[in-house]
Amino acid sequence: MILVTGATGTIGRSLVGELTGRGVPFRALVRSAAKGAELGCDHVVGDFDDPDSITAALTGVDRLFLNSTGVTAGPGEQPIARRQRTVIDAAVRAGVSAVVKVSVWKPRHGGKLALGAHWEAERHLRASGLDWAVLQPTGFMQNFVTGAALVTEDGDILGAYGDAGVAYVDCRDIAAVAAELLTGTRWNEDFALTGPEAIDHRHIAARLSAVTGRTIRYVDLPPDELAARLTGQGLPADFAADIAELFAEVGAGAQDTTTTTVRDVTGRDPRTFERFLADHADLLAVRGTEAASRSTGQSLVQDS
């Protein structure tokens, strides 16, 4: 039995579909019965901040898909690290044999926000005695559909990336890799996941413009100006500065590398950005119409 956490997120929903198609026994961890009903699969209600609910959800589970998001401003430990440690410890007590964890691209000790938090969670998992596989994806293509990408009040893409490319990966490919690992025997490895090409954000804006039917620009700002703009939108100054610093790292080429991991694990090439846009053309067209009729301001939160 597999337990899928983060089951209603972008990766989780695709993984539910993958496992359902394979006929593999699994249950989804959801935060409400209504969300479980939407998934249409076996599910259990629980929350990472409620250890007893996690213990109950892990009853009879052999393998665990571990995925959670969310970063906070200010000093102290990020909730990702604390919550995932709780789940890992519960998995050990429940007799789970292996964990597939979603992390981030190149996590590191002392890294800002999710980079450091996932490094801490990875370290705890590796020391747990469980078999493990860690997925380390670049940015998600789905951010441009879910509204998780940072945009201006007019719906243009906002960043500090310069001309650097990002090898965005489709969350469906992340889920496909997870499904292979959860049903296989390949353990105790890191899996760096990317799409097939690194694309700069001016090209992304142009491609989105063609699909949405409205002109979308890429607005590039120096990191200090980006931080000031985010602060003006209500983010705490320290939090805004950390986000801007991470954007600047991407602008220096931190995510411009591609890997063959998706093909190596699944036997097929990762989806291209053009394929992603074509598959979501109807939704993007609706979003384009909505954006043209009202101003929006959104912060960067990767929805996994």
Average pLDDT of the chain?
Answer: 89
Q: How confident is the model at residue 36 (pLDDT cuts 50, 70, 90)?
A: confident
Note the pLDDT tens digit of each residue in 162-212: 999 999 999 999 999 999 999 999 999 999 999 999 999 999 999 999 988
Instruction: Tell me the average pLDDT across 150-160.
Output: 84
Average pLDDT (111-127) is 93
Say what the pLDDT of residue 257 is: 95
Give me the percent of the chain exceeding a pLDDT of 70: 91
Lowest mean pLDDT among 73-77, 131-135, 155-159, 244-248: 73-77
**pLDDT for 70 beyond 80:** no
Contact 64, 95 (CB under 8 A): no
Convert the pLDDT of each residue in 277-304 to its tens digit. 999 888 787 655 444 433 322 233 344 5
Band the pLDDT of 55: cuts 50, 70, 90. Answer: very high
Same CATH topology for 2-137 and 141-168+195-256+271-297: the answer is: no
- Best mean pLDDT range from 35-44, 56-65, 145-154: 56-65
Burial letters 192-214, b for 16+ CB under 10 A, else e: bbbbbbbbbbeebbebbeebbee
Question: CATH: 3.30.2130.10, 2.40.50.140, 3.40.50.2030, 3.90.25.10. Which one for 141-168+195-256+271-297?
Answer: 3.90.25.10
Percent pLDDT > 90 in the chain is 68
- Cβ atoms < 10 Å from Cβ of 229: 18
pLDDT digits (tens, 9 = 90+) for 245-264: 999 999 999 999 999 999 99
Per-residue pLDDT, averaged over 139-153, amounts to 83
pLDDT of residue 286: 62
pLDDT band at 72 (very low <50, low <70, confident <90, very high): low
Model confidence, pTM: 0.91
CATH 3.40.50.720 fits 2-137, yes or no: yes
Among 4-13, 100-109, 148-157, 284-293, the least confident range: 284-293
The full set of domain ranges for the chain reads 2-137, 141-168+195-256+271-297
Residues 6+ apart with CB under 8 A from 249: none
The whole-number pLDDT of residue 295 equals 31
Arithmetic mean of pLDDT, 130-148? 91
